[in-house]
């Protein structure tokens, strides 16, 4: 079939139907994942209760075992000196030993049942966790397909001219977008969302402390709450800067860095940041300004979060041939030769510098701080 004979309207109708079906499938899988998550939380709570019951039954069994041992010993003494005990004493010794033995057997049976139920709950939790992970993965994959259908395939006529090239390019872009969305979602969930949840719990705690312990103790908790809210606000602003500071396009690299570092210092009151720059009036190519901002941002965040620095110095020098940036901190430092598993920050920085034909060096040692030096060749028109 030639392209000229293709009914574009018919293809658009087919595409619209596909988008509807894919979207419905995504919603169904999402609902499955959410229901599995609810079931997981319910079973997890039930598992906690079962574990507590197992401990109680074991403790009760140990007590019964000790009592049964004493009862058997008493019964043995009565049996050995049968003539010296009355019939009532003999009967009592036997009944006590028998009753304890029955109770012990029932206790062991109960323990066995609870252990079996506990193991079954653990297996079901593992199954639900796998279902949740598979559902999240499928939703992510379907989102890629759905975005591709709604965005890259919107103009079907144009895609028919070079479908393979556009498909490969589109998938790469969308996959990168989905990964960025997932990263941002995790940051919001692990950062501001958790902090705000803690704020809610702290507010309830303050109310209870005020009623039970008085205003002075409540004021202490209010100060802690204020600090928590400040940290949450800082995390939100940091995430906004991570997305892309708007001032970068309007004002350029140096003013944006100055504002960013000022905000960082404001929300970390024990931290001092010195910023020194030369040739502020020079604008760099957009991709270079973005790259340098991200590199300096990553270095400063590493100094705060990992090095626990109290003083950070950022210097940047721009001339017609190159740009040089130096980020120095007085933190605890690290051994650059030691590869930390699961850490890709430094690798990502090096890759970003390599893309712009630049150089990055990191000078650090344990207990002596860290110096990051970035150099890039530039062409300014």
Q: Classify residue 229: in a domain, yes or no.
A: no
* Domain end call among 161, 187, 206: 161
Q: Classify residue 206: in a domain, yes or no.
A: no
How far is residue 346's CA from residue 333's CA, in Å, rounded to a whole number? 14
How buried is residue 349: exposed, middle or buried, by Cβ count under 10 Å (0-12/13-18/19+)? buried
pLDDT at 23 over 70: yes
pLDDT at 296 over 60: yes
Shared domain for 128 and 257, answered yes or no, is: no
pLDDT of residue 272: 93
Q: How many CB atoms sit inside 10 A of residue 357's CB?
A: 8
Identify the CA nearest to 260 among candidates 250, 280, 275: 275
pLDDT of residue 1: 41
DSSP state of 379: -
* Domain end call among 161, 189, 216: 161
- Which one is predicted more confidently, 9 or 313? 313
74-118: per-residue pLDDT in tens? 888 877 777 777 778 878 888 888 888 888 899 889 989 988 988
Percent of the chain, pLDDT > 70?
77
pLDDT at 121 over 80: yes
Tokens of 146: 């759905």
pLDDT at 266 over 70: yes
Shared domain for 139 and 17, answered yes or no, is: yes
* Domain end call among 135, 161, 187: 161
Q: Classify residue 334: in a domain, yes or no.
A: yes
How far is residue 233's CA from residue 199's CA, in Å, rounded to a whole number? 12
Q: Classify residue 173: in a domain, yes or no.
A: no
State the Cα angle at 117 between 115 and 120, rounded to 5°: 110
pLDDT of residue 190: 66
Shared domain for 147 and 258, answered yes or no, is: no
pLDDT of residue 306: 84
pLDDT of residue 90: 76
Q: What is the pTM assigned to this prediction?
A: 0.42
Element (H, E) at 374: strand 370-377
pLDDT of residue 275: 93
Shared domain for 146 and 263, answered yes or no, is: no
346-372: per-residue pLDDT in tens? 777 887 788 888 999 999 888 889 999
Shared domain for 12 and 133, answered yes or no, is: yes
CATH number at residue 119: 1.10.287.950
Give the residue-averaged pLDDT of 338-352: 64
CATH number at residue 288: 3.30.565.10
pLDDT of residue 2: 41
For 292-327, b/e burial (b = at least 16 CB within 10 A) is bbbbbbbbbebbbebbebeebbbebebeeeebbbbb
Q: Give how many domains the chain has, as a whole number.
A: 2
pLDDT of residue 342: 40
Shared domain for 155 and 255, answered yes or no, is: no
- Which one is predicted more confidently, 217 or 174? 217
Give the residue-averaged pLDDT of 1-22: 62
Shared domain for 266 and 373, answered yes or no, is: yes
pLDDT at 256 over 50: yes
Q: Classify residue 176: in a domain, yes or no.
A: no
CB 370, CB 303: distance < 8 Å = yes
pLDDT of residue 281: 66
pLDDT of residue 374: 94
Q: Classify residue 314: in a domain, yes or no.
A: yes
The CA-to-CA distance between both ends of the chain, in Å, stands at 50
Q: Classify residue 226: in a domain, yes or no.
A: no
Q: Classify residue 221: in a domain, yes or no.
A: no
156-212: per-residue pLDDT in tens? 545 544 444 445 544 554 564 556 566 666 666 666 667 777 777 777 777 777 887
Tokens of 310: 């109290």
34-70: per-residue pLDDT in tens? 888 888 888 888 888 988 898 998 898 889 888 888 8
Shared domain for 151 and 281, answered yes or no, is: no
pLDDT band at 327 (very low <50, low <70, confident <90, very high): very high
| Backbone conformation region of residue 358, classed left if phi is above 0, alpha if psi is from -120 to 50, else beta | beta
Shared domain for 11 and 126, answered yes or no, is: yes
pLDDT of residue 274: 94
* Structure-token match 């303050």, residue found: 206
Percent of the chain, pLDDT > 90?
11
Tally of residues, the chain: 381
**Could you tell me the residue range of the domain that residue 278 belongs to?**
251-381
Shared domain for 31 and 140, answered yes or no, is: yes
Give the residue-averaged pLDDT of 275-281: 78
């Amino acid at each position: 079939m030639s392209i000229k004979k293709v009914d574009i309207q018919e293809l658009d109708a087919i595409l619209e139907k596909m988008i509807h079906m894919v979207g419905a499938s995504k919603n169904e899988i999402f609902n499955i994942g959410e229901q599995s998550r609810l079931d997981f939380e319910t079973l997890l709570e039930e598992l906690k209760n079962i574990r507590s019951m197992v401990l109680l039954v074991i403790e009760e069994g140990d007590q019964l075992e000790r009592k049964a041992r004493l009862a058997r010993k008493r019964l043995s003494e009565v049996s050995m000196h049968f003539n010296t005990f009355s019939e009532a004493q003999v009967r009592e010794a036997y009944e006590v030993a028998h009753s304890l033995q029955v109770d012990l057997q029932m206790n062991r049976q109960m323990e066995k049942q609870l252990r079996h139920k506990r193991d079954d709950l653990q297996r079901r939790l593992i199954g639900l966790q796998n279902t949740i992970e598979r559902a999240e993965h499928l939703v992510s994959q379907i989102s890629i397909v759905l975005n591709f259908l709604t965005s890259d395939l919107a103009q079907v006529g144009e895609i028919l001219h070079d479908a393979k090239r556009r498909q490969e390019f589109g998938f790469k872009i969308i996959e990168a977008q989905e990964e960025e969305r997932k990263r941002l979602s995790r940051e919001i969930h692990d950062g501001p969302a958790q902090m705000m949840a803690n704020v809610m719990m702290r507010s309830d705690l303050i109310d209870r402390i005020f009623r039970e312990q008085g205003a002075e103790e409540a004021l202490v908790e209010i100060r802690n709450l204020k600090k928590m809210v400040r940290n949450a606000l800082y995390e939100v602003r940091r995430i906004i800067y991570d997305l892309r500071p708007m001032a970068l396009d309007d004002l350029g690299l140096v003013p944006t860095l100055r504002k960013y570092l000022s905000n960082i210092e404001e929300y970390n009151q024990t931290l001092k940041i010195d910023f020194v720059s030369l040739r502020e009036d020079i604008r760099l190519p957009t991709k270079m300004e973005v790259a340098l901002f991200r590199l300096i941002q990553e270095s400063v965040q590493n100094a705060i979060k990992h090095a626990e620095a109290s003083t950070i110095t950022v210097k940047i020098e721009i001339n017609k041939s190159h740009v040089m940036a130096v980020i120095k901190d007085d933190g605890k430092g690290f051994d650059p030769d030691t590869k930390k598993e699961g850490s890709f920050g430094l690798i990502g920085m090096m890759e970003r510098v390599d893309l712009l034909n630049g150089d990055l060096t990191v000078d650090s040692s344990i207990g002596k701080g860290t110096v990051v030096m970035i150099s890039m060749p530039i062409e300014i028109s």
